[in-house]
Each structure stands twice: as structure tokens, then as C-alpha cells.
Structure 1
Amino acid sequence: MSFRTFYRRFHGTPDLSSILPKKSLVSRKPSRDIHPKYPVRTRFAPSPTGMLHMGSLRTALYNYLLARNTGGKFILRLEDTDQNRLAQGAEENIYDSLRWCKLQYDEGPMLGGPFGPYRQSERAEIYRSHISTLLESGHAYRCFCPKERLELLRESARKLQPPTTASYDRHCAHLSLDKIKQNLDNGMGYTVRLRAPEKYPIIHDLLYGALDIQPQVNANDVRYDDPILVKSDNLPTYHFANVIDDHLMKITHVIRGEEWLPSTQKHLAIYNAFGWSPPQFIHIPLLTTIEDKKLSKRKGDSSVMNLKGKGILPEALVNFSVLFGWSPPRDLAAANHECLSLEQFEQIFNLNYLTKGNAKIDEKKLWFFNKHYLQLQIESQLSKVTEQVIVLAQSQYGRDLATAEKVTTILQKCGKALSTIHEFNSTFSYFFERPNYDIINSVQDYLATRDLQQELRILEEFQNGIDTTDTEQLIKHIKEKLNIPKRLIFECLRFALAGSKSGAKVPILVDILGTGETHKRLDEACRYLKNRI
């Protein structure tokens, strides 16, 4: 859900032109310089409630790149106070995903740092001392209301005309000290609420500018938007822990998803209650599917490690993710076809080139990047790629056929046809098994439009000369003798040798198959054509 949709749904505002710029008026580059000129401290603070997905990876990347570009620090913090929602293996998945993408944090769990611990579940004493400060100053109060009463208040608030999301009546904000002590002595459970200001602070977002986001209220039935800071289990809410941690860890810039904008004014109110200066906020547009649905970390298709399992390379995923919401200078993008390494992004990343508007995931570009980086690997790390491909090839075709020498040769000469190593078996199956012309649809479609007598003559001419003539020269000779285009000869040979499948040029196909195997396939193709004529 984009911020615009969120705001309309929960605040009932039909026109947001005064809050967020219209897309048609959004320029590619901000009108003012928003990129910091000093070392920043950024953080990536995921909740281990699911597998790390592409949207979270992009957030981590932007924070990482801003820190690296300015010579600052990148911090990893785990927001794990919602114990009921923690997913088994999710914390390890975060570490594995960042490590695989080569995003090294400077402070965080397993590494430590001057402002730890870096798991919120280990910072309970810190939160307790700070909530005491707010209680003593009157900026927060204990709420003893049972869940049933709060639900009735929410229901009644929704039925108001206009409805309001500010539902609490501040019943407990007016309890006497004696009553509070009595409730505590009786062991009555409670939460701690922020006493929200009459008007929330203006949000100064570096990307969107000044935003005035206020809860919709009903003048005839005044309610209050007093967010809960500490839950009844004595654990802090996201809003409270987030502010405390960012302040104590000296975070200077917070880059996070646009969906957090409606919470930011609450965070600013907490900063003000403590008398602290907030960090700079940059809220980036959501990553969505083609159907305009927000990516979910609970659906595995977009998880980082799931993409790894599909054969996506970390360089490709990083390249792909950075460019959804950020654009490099046009001359650099054109020169490199937007193919940029993590190290290059570290050098050129600049907040001024952030873009606005939701970015829809189109996997075609991801596969384009993957093909590019796979070719670079084949050129520079052939033995490493071969080791991975041999396992796949031998599992399907056996050790005798899928030898290391043969797999290496195919990768060297035909690897440009691959977008991922997982395509090797299906793309190059004809190097390991002869085509069965009867069951290959592409063969049937091909022959349905051909002169079979001519096809047979091409194959016989080629077979007669293959032992003594270079493949290229032989094709040239057949072209002149039969007075036909080279294209027809190539297509005919591809039908016979590879079942009309692409991936290898015909001379390379003949070279890798060898003269003996080429003869056998030509024999089979000729017999097949004679039976159809």
C-alpha cells in the first residue's frame, strides 16, 4: 500500500496534493541539494518476522551506500521486541542475505560496537529508564483500560461522522497518584501512552519536503491519538524503541519505506518530549509487483535467498535493487547500460538522484543484469562456474556424458546464451542427448513450412563434405551450389543436430559434437525426412 492509498484509507482525505507532490510535477532530481557533506550514521533495522525480501534489501542498500559514500557508518539493528511474530530462522536469514550481497555492517549483532546491544530484546533496561523519564515529565501516562473498553472506543470512533483514527478518550490520563498506586499495588496490567501534542510536528522529509500529517478528528466527540509506547508485557512498541535507539546510536539519517510516513509525526513528538533533535528522514517509494501490490516478506518469491536459489547472482540483484527508486547520472548509465558494481555505487550514490513514485518490479531487467554478470563470471572465473554447472549437468546426464572438459568447453563457447546456470541443462540438452524429432514441437512447426526435398539435399551435401571441409566453407559451398540463402542452411542443420533449439552457433555445435556424432545425427535426420516425404 502506497502512502497516498494509506492516507486516503485511514484519514479520509480525498486530495493529497497539499501533502505529497503530484507525479506529473515530480522532477528526477530535487530542486535543492539534499546529499550530506559529512560522514553520516545510517541503520538498517529489520524485524526478524520473515525472510528478507527485495524491498528490505533496497532499504539496506540505500542506507549502506549513503554511509559508504560519505565515509560514515552503517549499523545493523534487530527490532525483535514483538516476540509473537518472530519467525524461526529469520535472524540467520538476515545475516546470510546481507553477507551474500556483500553488505558489511560496521556495528551490529555478532559484531558489537560502542552503542550496543544491537538487538532490541536485549535493551529492556534502556527502554525502562527512558519511559520513566517521560512518566516523570508528564509526557507519558499509564493506561489501565482493558482491551474490551479500548475496542469499544475504536468501534465508536469508526462510526463517527466524520470517522477518526484518534480513538482514545484519555480516561487514564486523569487518574490521581493514589489511584495509580492502588492499581499498581493490585497488580493491574497497564500500557504506557504518549500524551500526544494538540498538533503533531511538521515532517521535514529530504525527498518530499515539508509534510503536515495530522489525524482526522471529530470536533463533536474529541478523541486523542496517544500512541502506546510500552505494551502490557513491558516491551516497547516499535515507535518508542525506534526513537530511543536511533538517538542513542547517533543515527543521522533514516532511509525507510514510504509506508512509515504516517508514523513519523509520532516519532517526532517523542523526540520533542525528550528534547532531542531527530535525524534526517528520507522516505522512499514502495517496491510493488506489476499488479501494484506491495512485496511481502512472507511470500517467498521475492526473498533474497529464494532468488539466490533460482540462480540470481548477488551482483545482479544489487544492481537491480538500487535502480528501483534511484537513477545514476544519465551519461554514466548510458555508458554502462546501467550495469554498475557495488563498489561503483558506493562512489556515485547521491541522495539527489532519488526518484518518487512506486517502482514496479519487472523481472526482465533482473534477468538482463544476471546474464551480464554471469558472462563476466564465465570470462574471469570459469573454473568456479564450471564446478557449479557440473553438479547440475551430471545429475541429469551422468558423469560419462557431462565431463568437466565438455562442460567447460560449452560454457566457453556458448555461455552467452545463459541468463543463469540453472538454464544449462535445458538450453544445451542437445550436447548430451540426440533430438527426438517426433516429440519436439519446434521441429514439427519448422518442418511444416519447409520443402522437405530441399532439406534432405542440404543435409546430404553437408554430410558428404564434413570430413574434408571446414564447416563455414562447406556452408558457403552449399549456398553457391544450391543457390539458397545461408539462413536456410543454418536452420536445416540446427533442425538435424539440435532439434531446432538455439544456444550454439552451427559451427560450434559441430565442433563440440565432433564429426562422428554429427554424422550419426545427420543420418537420423535424413532417415526421418525420407519417411515423411
Structure 2
Amino acid sequence: MNSVLNNRVLPVSIVNLCRTFKTKVPRVRFAPSPTGYLHLGGLRTALYNYLFAKSRNGSFILRIEDTDQTRKVEGSVKALLKDLKWAGIECHEGPGIGGKYGPYVQSERLPIYQEHISKLLENGSAYKCFCTERRLNLLRRDAVRSQRIPKYDNRCRSLSEEDISEKIGAGSPYCIRFKLSSDCSAFEDLIFGGIAYDVSLNEGDPVLMKSDGYPTYHFANVVDDHLMDVTHVLRGVEWQISTTKHLLIYKAFGWTPPQFGHLPLIVNADGTKLSKRQSDVKVEDYRNNGIFPLALVNYITLSGGGFDHVPGAGVRLKSMDELAEEFQIDRISSHPSRLNPDLLQECNRLEIRRQLQDDQLSQTLVAKLQDLIKHTYPSQTLDIEKEHIKTVLNWAVARISKIEDLVSSKFGFLWILPSNNQMDIDKDLLHRLVEYLETQEVFEEPILKDKLREFSKNNNIKFPELMKILRSVLSGLSEGPGVAEMMHLLGKSQSLERIKAVVR
């Protein structure tokens, strides 16, 4: 059976080659560069690889691709590991974890790359290039001026052994390039289907080994994926155009390539490209802004497909085990994944509700909110008893998307005991109100509202005026939830105590 794209037929041999991996226990990898923070796209790649491995009892490998030493950011690997752990993504092999296929940092694998580049030089698949940066820049400028595709002209391919020896003897620096063939390489993308592309039409021979002895991405990732026995490569769609080039390198070594699947772009709700410069793409920012890890994970899966989700059926928060059980590569959409911020808020709300239903998690949630309250109102007299906080959380879960919302000024009345010493209030009225409320056995919002309306009528005070007085007594604030709702939330004991404080 052949696969077709753009009127090109994928050779049966390549399709069959990919099928050989279907019977193997999968080994997948996440291979970021240590150039800064982990962003949402990187987390999505790591998550999908992890879920694919988890769903098939495979292995998830973390590999650090730091061959471009000029872009390396100190501390980024440590931060990356922290972000992955926070998100619930477990690495089976990698830096600091171990495994029989290490080292898992590319800068520690230089002898391996040197050994393998020698093989390509020996079999004639690669050659030494002595072209200077100045010459390459001139080629680029000339191509742009002539409206041609800028690419290397493969000049050093034709150097004789005598020329090469002379240049090496003179100490001329050189890199090592791969000889691209004009064959139209093809592969079956696990997400996009058949892909066929003649890379030599648009590119000159690519560099495999730089003059500083470090490999390029194209070379190192092929060598590492083969030596680490990677069976499936799930990565961003930006690498799709390079895959045919990678297949040629596999062919030059005589190796069987893994299967490839390319994840579509993540874009904003309006379809615009998600920029790394935006403040909402760093995983660290989501964590610092009160988003729970499981909420962020579900948010990502709702945006890109790959899971059971019926449109219009509402959002259901799923555990990592459930996501792994549901995950299917052929369900991933090839269209850009549009982010809907409302879904993130709903996912976080559902996670708060889930934690409240678990005794241990709810205790942690209460303790976290206690700390937030004390940090936000350090000089106030506070009511932060555990039962009070848990009652508030159960009430607030339908009104907030993160617990940090509960320490905003809008909800300050929940925690701050108001100072009523300066209030000019009819204390006799409040005394009668206390006696009246003490007889009420039910302190639910609708009943309270009716009772307060009845009290205002029987005591010749307008209902809005009574509400204004009570709001001031209970919270010291001019805004907030309705008074009956506030009293229900504070509870009978706390509400009466706050009123009595003024009566005394």
C-alpha cells in the first residue's frame, strides 16, 4: 500500500520500514536546548512523548542538546527538570537520572560524534569544507541580490586529496558537510500523513560537524536517536522539513530510522503565532500565577487533540493515567492548536474542586491559602481557622479560578476582622438584630435574606439602609458579595460575633 502527498508516492519499502517499530516497546525522547525557560510548546512536546511512552509501557528519555554552546544559559537544565517534575512528567532516563544509553548531555558525547563522523568520511557520505565565513556571506548576499534561494554551492565537494592535505597542513580551519543526494526522500508522518521533499533543491550540503568540534543538531540528533534506540520521534512541526535530510543521514549510516510525528504549532485564540516573548508562555509563569500542574496539562491536551473529547460536552479534568489510556497519535489534529484562556481557568477551577474532595490534598490547599492570607495582610487581625477556610473554599470554587483570587481586596472581608470603633451606628438596632438572628436555626442565604427583610420592616428601617450598615459591620468594605451571602459564608457564629463587637 502506498501513501501519497502532492502527487508523490511513498515507496512501499519506507512504509514497511516504519512498520517494523510497531512491535517494539516504544522509546521516545524530549531533547530541549538549555537556552532558557521551558515554554508551553516545549511542555506540550514533553507531555505527548511522555503519555505515548506511558500508554505503551515504554521509556521516556530526557536528552539535553547543548551543542550550540554560545546560546547555553546557566541554570536552565535545573529549571527544566523542576518544571517537568512540577507538571507530573516522569523521566525514565536522563541527566541526573541515569540509564544505560548515557551520557544524556550532548556536550559530554563529543568522542561519540567524532567516531561516527569518521565513518561518514570513510564511506564518502561526508567531506571537509574549508570555506570561510566571509565566502559564505558573499554567497548569501549574491543569492539574495539575484533573487535565488541562498544555499551553499558545495564547492569543497570537489577538492582533491592533495588540496585537502595542503589546507590541513597550512592549519586552515574546516567543518564537515554531508553530501545531499537529489533523491526525493519520503516518509509517513504519524500526524500529517505522507511527506515527500527533495531537500537538495532548496539547500546546499549541510554542516554536520562545526570547526569547533561540536556537531550540529542535524547530525547529533540522528546519532543519538539511533544509539539510544529511539523508536518514535514526536517533535514540533518546525522540524518536519528537516526530516527528509535526517533520513538521508540514516541511510548513509545504513541505519533504520525511527517513526516521525510532528506536532502542529500552538497559536493564540485568534490564530496569531504564540511568541516566546509573551508573558504567558513560560511554564514557570503559570506555576507562579496559581495554575495547578494538572490544570495546565489538561489545558494543553484540550487544545491539540489526541484524546477523547466530545465538542460541546464540557470540560472534564483527567488524571495522567486517564490521559495516557486515551492518548492516540492518530487523533492529534494537524491544524494549529488554538489556545482558549477560558479553558485554562475552567481546568484550574476543576482542579481546586478535585483537591477539596481529597482529605490530604484539601489540607495542603488550606495551608497554602493560610500562608497567602498572612503574607497579603501581615498587620491585620485575621480569621484563618482551618474550618472557616475550608468553608470559604467550598463556597468560592464556583466563583474563582485560582485560590490567589481569595486574597484580593474584593474578598478581604473573609479574613480581616473589621475595626468598628469609629462607626456611628445605632447600637440598639444592632442589639435587636443579634437577638433576632440568634433565634434563627437555618443560616442559609435565601432564608437569611427574607429574615433580614422582615427585620427591616418590623424595625422601621429601609432594607437598603440595613444592608449598608451590616456590610460595614461585617466587612468594613463598601463592596463585595450580598450581605446574606456574606453572612452565610461567615457562618452564624462569626457573623454574630462581628455584630456584637459593635454592640459592646
In which range does the TM-score fall when normalised by the shorter chain? 0.7 to 0.9
CA distance in 1, matches of 2:440, 2:124: 94
**Retained in 2: the 8 A contact 1:134–1:273?**
yes
Which of the residues 439, 444, 448 maps onto 1:468? 439
Please name the residue that 1:420 is paired with: 402
Which of the residues 72, 81, 87 maps onto 2:73? 87
CA distance in 1, matches of 2:77, 2:440: 62
Please name the residue that 1:507 is paired with: 488
CA distance in 2, matches of 1:512, 1:395: 26
**Retained in 1: the 8 A contact 2:306–2:329?**
no
Per the TM alignment, residue 344 of structure 1 is displaced from its structure 2 partner at its CA by 0.8
Do structure 1's residue 182 and structure 2's residue 160 form an aligned pair?
Answer: no
Deviation sequence 1:145-181 (CA, Å, 0-9, x none) = 11010111112222335x224x222211111111111
TM-score, normalised relative to structure 2 = 0.82
Please name the residue that 1:4 is paired with: none
Per the TM alignment, residue 418 of structure 1 is displaced from its structure 2 partner at its CA by 3.2
**Retained in 1: the 8 A contact 2:382–2:417?**
no
Per the TM alignment, residue 304 of structure 1 is displaced from its structure 2 partner at its CA by 1.3
**Retained in 2: the 8 A contact 1:101–1:314?**
yes
Which of the residues 355, 366, 374 maps onto 2:352? 374
Per the TM alignment, residue 34 of structure 1 is displaced from its structure 2 partner at its CA by 13
Which of the residues 421, 429, 448 maps onto 2:412? 429
Please name the residue that 1:397 is paired with: 377
**Retained in 2: the 8 A contact 1:35–1:351?**
no
CA distance in 2, matches of 1:481, 1:215: 83
Amino acid at match of 1:282: G
Out of 255-264 and 395-404, give the one that drifted further.
395-404
CA distance in 1, matches of 2:301, 2:365: 25
Please name the residue that 2:341 is paired with: 363
CA distance in 2, matches of 1:467, 1:316: 43
Do structure 1's residue 18 and structure 2's residue 6 form an aligned pair?
Answer: yes
Which of the residues 257, 260, 264 maps onto 1:281? 260
Please name the residue that 1:194 is paired with: 178
Do the aligned partners of residues 169 and 328 (structure 1) sit closer, same or farther apart at CA in structure 2, a change above 3 Å counting? closer
Per the TM alignment, residue 374 of structure 1 is displaced from its structure 2 partner at its CA by 1.3
Do structure 1's residue 271 and structure 2's residue 255 form an aligned pair?
Answer: no
CA distance in 1, matches of 2:20, 2:107: 34
CA distance in 2, matches of 1:269, 1:506: 72
Do the aligned partners of residues 100 and 491 (structure 1) sit closer, same or farther apart at CA in structure 2, a change above 3 Å counting? farther
Do the aligned partners of residues 379 and 464 (structure 1) sit closer, same or farther apart at CA in structure 2, a change above 3 Å counting? same
Deviation sequence 1:259-308 (CA, Å, 0-9, x none) = 11121111111111112121111111111234544445565532112211
Note the 1:312-351 alignment, pairs <5 A. Answer: 312-330=291-309, 337-351=315-329
Per the TM alignment, residue 378 of structure 1 is displaced from its structure 2 partner at its CA by 2.4
Do the aligned partners of residues 330 and 397 (structure 1) sit closer, same or farther apart at CA in structure 2, a change above 3 Å counting? closer
- Counting matched residue pairs gives 462
**Retained in 2: the 8 A contact 1:135–1:141?**
yes
CA distance in 2, matches of 1:92, 1:256: 22
Per the TM alignment, residue 244 of structure 1 is displaced from its structure 2 partner at its CA by 0.5
Amino acid at match of 2:111: E
Please name the residue that 1:516 is paired with: 497
Do the aligned partners of residues 34 and 468 (structure 1) sit closer, same or farther apart at CA in structure 2, a change above 3 Å counting? farther
Do the aligned partners of residues 400 and 129 (structure 1) sit closer, same or farther apart at CA in structure 2, a change above 3 Å counting? same
Per the TM alignment, residue 425 of structure 1 is displaced from its structure 2 partner at its CA by 0.9
Do structure 1's residue 238 and structure 2's residue 217 form an aligned pair?
Answer: yes
CA distance in 1, matches of 2:152, 2:241: 18
Which of the residues 387, 394, 398 maps onto 2:367? 387
* CA RMSD, 1 decimal: 3.3
Please name the residue that 2:48 is paired with: 62
**Retained in 1: the 8 A contact 2:306–2:333?**
yes
Per the TM alignment, residue 491 of structure 1 is displaced from its structure 2 partner at its CA by 11
Amino acid at match of 1:515: L
Which of the residues 350, 354, 366 maps onto 2:332? 354
Please name the residue that 1:208 is paired with: 192
Gaps of 5+ in 1: 1-16, 21-32, 218-222, 437-457, 524-533
Q: Specify the SS of the correspondent of 2:185.
A: coil
Do the aligned partners of residues 491 and 386 (structure 1) sit closer, same or farther apart at CA in structure 2, a change above 3 Å counting? farther
Out of 59-68 and 376-385, give the one that drifted further.
376-385
CA distance in 2, matches of 1:258, 1:491: 63
Per the TM alignment, residue 90 of structure 1 is displaced from its structure 2 partner at its CA by 0.7
TM-score, normalised relative to structure 1 = 0.78
Identical residues among aligned pairs (%): 35
Out of 233-242 and 313-322, give the one that drifted further.
313-322
CA distance in 1, matches of 2:91, 2:54: 10
**Retained in 2: the 8 A contact 1:461–1:478?**
no
Higher RCO structure, 1 or 2 (CA under 8 Å, sep 6+): 1
Do the aligned partners of residues 34 and 341 (structure 1) sit closer, same or farther apart at CA in structure 2, a change above 3 Å counting? farther
Which of the residues 100, 116, 121 maps onto 1:135? 121
**Retained in 2: the 8 A contact 1:205–1:282?**
yes
